[in-house]
Every structure is written in C-alpha cells, then in structure tokens.
C-alpha cells in the first residue's frame, strides 16, 4: 500500500484511490505550491517556510496513514531536509509538494508503526 490515505492536505494519491476533482486536479496550499528551484534558491527564512510546510504535511500523513506513527521513521528533520533538497535538485521544475510526496513515499518502507514511548 502506498503512503497516504485519500484525504491528505495536498490530496496526493495512494495505491487504490486518490482525492481530487472530476478532472483529477487538486489545490496545493502554501509553500507546497512553490517550485523546487525557488526552494533551492531561497534564503534561510524562506527555506524554513517550506520546511515547516513539509513538517505539517508529514504530520497529516502520520495521522491519516494506517499503521503509521512516524512516516519519517528514524530519520532526523535535517536528514529529510537533505533528501528534499536532493529531490528538488534532480527535479527543479517540480512543485515542492511533489518532491515532498516522493521523499515521504520513499521513506514509507522504513516508517515507525508504534510510538517509541509505548
């Protein structure tokens, strides 16, 4: 099964279904609508805006994905930022939302499924 349920904030697809309008379109809100190139060219403050956006996206994935406590697993925030920067470097014309989705989907296989506090 793919990473996300059908109702994530950015509306990206899961294996069996996806949320979108009848034309297969959906709205991406906030920093996710910026291109990867803008993210790569951004200063520290603007990068923080995008990094906060992906953290919220990951939190939604954690909440909406079955059998998931943390979609980033044992990776640190810095590790995920590096992965997103690499993904953006390879696909500078993609939106940040697509790059983040691709990174989190890749991390899905190493997600943590239970809280380490239990």
Q: Domains, the chain, ranges and CATH?
A: 30-110 (1.10.890)
Q: Is-contact 53 61, C-beta < 8 A?
A: no
At residue 19, what are phi and psi to the nearest 5 degrees? -95, 130
Is residue 78 scored above 50 in pLDDT? yes
- Give the rounded distance of the alpha carbon of 20 from its chain centre: 17
Q: Which pTM was predicted?
A: 0.78
Q: Render pLDDT for 26-38 as a digit per residue (tens, 0 to 9).
A: 888 889 889 999 9
Give the highest mean pLDDT range of 12-16, 25-29, 63-67, 76-80.
Answer: 76-80
> For residue 70, how many other CB atoms are within 10 A of its CB?
19
What is the reported pLDDT for 26? 80
What is the reported pLDDT for 29? 87
């Amino acid at each position: 099964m793919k990473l996300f349920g059908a109702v994530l904030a950015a509306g990206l697809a899961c294996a069996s279904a996806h949320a979108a309008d009848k034309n297969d379109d959906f709205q991406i809100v906030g920093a996710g609508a910026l291109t990867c190139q803008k993210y790569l060219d951004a200063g520290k403050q603007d990068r923080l805006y995008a990094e906060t956006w992906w953290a919220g996206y990951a939190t939604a994935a954690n909440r909406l994905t079955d059998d998931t406590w943390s979609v980033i697993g044992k990776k640190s925030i810095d590790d995920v930022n590096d992965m997103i920067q690499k993904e953006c470097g390879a696909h500078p014309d993609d939106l940040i939302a697509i790059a983040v989705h691709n990174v989190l989907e890749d991390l899905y296989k190493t997600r943590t499924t239970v809280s380490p506090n239990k």
